[in-house]
Amino acid sequence: MLRTPTGGAGHGTATAGNRLMSIGTVLSQLRDEFPEVTISKIRFLEAEGLVEPRRTPSGYRKFSPEDVERLAQVLRMQRDHYLPLKVIREHLDALGRGEQVQLPAQGTQRLLDGPWDSESERPTASRVGRAELLASAEVSEEEVAEWESYGLLAADEDGAYDAESVTVARLVADLGRFGLEPRHLRAMKAAAEREAGLVEQVVAPLRRHRNPQTRAHAEATTKELAALSVRLHAALVQTALGVRLH
């Protein structure tokens, strides 16, 4: 059961114990629990009316601790329960009225968290249907169809999607708000496939080994290499942007 928020969505008078924060400070606080959150995500949630930070006379956003807690609740409900923003807004409104809110079961709560420490921690549902994908990523049928035509998403023979497809859909939608169309993202898809191919080259001999422990080690190696690959890719992009901007 979700606890009642400590305050409204950005109203009231700031005090010494209730200091206001810039959006950058809010981002730093949220990233402890939500490493993938971005400033554009926070602005999007504001545009959707889920948080209402104060504005300085110069127009800068200033967030209260209650705003940060509200943002965290929104992000948790998205991550752990796959709730669309409309439902999240209804839950928060109910909490604001002092009502108790019963959230849906968390059978798929860790689909986007991976990796898992043991088999017992794996989610009971490793794939999602098309309707759940649309609701979780908050995108339309037309958008998903277009992304599929460019190879950015793909359902299996049963019409289901793996857990990462939800992440892909959300990120493609976020990039779309900056004017990046699916055709622009094909290069990223191709680069990801090449990186996956490199990882496969390293772990393939381990997977074919006769020793069960060695085969088990292959899965851990795959996860570690994937994480390192993502970090390297991000660092290279940031380096390239830094060179071009200076």
Which pLDDT score, from 0 to 100, does residue 246 have? 55
Does residue 235 have a pLDDT over 50? yes
Q: Are residues 57 and 145 in the same domain?
A: no
> CB of 88 within 8 A of CB of 50?
yes
Q: Are residues 154 and 237 in the same domain?
A: no
142 located within any domain:
yes
Residue 238, CA distances (Å) to 82, 115, 226 in order:
30, 25, 18
State how many domains the chain has: 3
Q: Are residues 133 and 167 in the same domain?
A: yes
Average pLDDT over the chain reads 79
pLDDT single digits (tens) 174-194? 888 888 998 999 888 888 889
Q: Are residues 37 and 89 in the same domain?
A: yes
Q: Using pLDDT thresholds of 50, 70 and 90, give the confidence band for residue 3.
A: very low
- Domain final residue, candidates 109, 143, 167: 109
- Domain final residue, candidates 109, 131, 160: 109
pLDDT single digits (tens) 60-110? 999 999 999 999 999 988 877 777 778 888 888 888 888 887 776 554 333
Which conformational region is residue 151 in: left (phi greater than 0), alpha (psi within -120 to 50 degrees), or beta?
Answer: left
116 located within any domain:
no
Which pLDDT score, from 0 to 100, does residue 230 have? 84
Does residue 197 have a pLDDT over 50? yes
Tally Cβ neighbours within 10 Å of residue 230.
12
Which pLDDT score, from 0 to 100, does residue 244 have? 64
Which pLDDT score, from 0 to 100, does residue 245 have? 59
- Domain final residue, candidates 109, 131, 162: 109
Q: Are residues 101 and 150 in the same domain?
A: no
The CATH number of whichever domain residue 64 belongs to comes to: 1.10.1660.10
Copy the structure tokens of residue 185. Answer: 């993202």
Residue length of the chain: 246
Which pLDDT score, from 0 to 100, does residue 219 have? 79
148 located within any domain:
yes
Which pTM was predicted?
Answer: 0.47
Q: Are residues 174 and 201 in the same domain?
A: no
d(CA 85, CA 161) in angstroms, rounded, equals 21
- Alpha helices (H) along 177-211: 186-207
Does residue 231 have a pLDDT over 90? no
Q: Which helix (H) or strand (E) holds 165?
A: helix 163-176
115 located within any domain:
no
Q: Are residues 214 and 166 in the same domain?
A: no
DSSP 183: G
Three-state secondary-structure class, residue 21? strand
Which pLDDT score, from 0 to 100, does residue 105 have? 55
Q: Using pLDDT thresholds of 50, 70 and 90, give the confidence band for residue 243.
A: low
> CB of 20 within 8 A of CB of 54?
yes
105 located within any domain:
yes
Q: Are residues 168 and 100 in the same domain?
A: no
> CB of 5 within 8 A of CB of 77?
no
Strand pairing partners for 55? Answer: 61
Copy the structure tokens of residue 162. Answer: 């793996």
Angle between helices 23-30 and 65-81 (to 10 degrees): 40
d(CA 10, CA 234) in angstroms, rounded, equals 33
Q: Are residues 192 and 158 in the same domain?
A: no
Residue with tokens 């090449």: 194
> CB of 207 within 8 A of CB of 172?
no
Q: Are residues 11 and 89 in the same domain?
A: yes
Q: Are residues 93 and 30 in the same domain?
A: yes
3 located within any domain:
yes
Q: Are residues 160 and 202 in the same domain?
A: no
Q: Which helix (H) or strand (E) holds 61?
A: strand 61-62
Three-state secondary-structure class, residue 79? helix
114 located within any domain:
no
192 located within any domain:
yes
Range of the structural domain that residue 232 is part of: 188-246
Strand pairing partners for 141? Answer: none
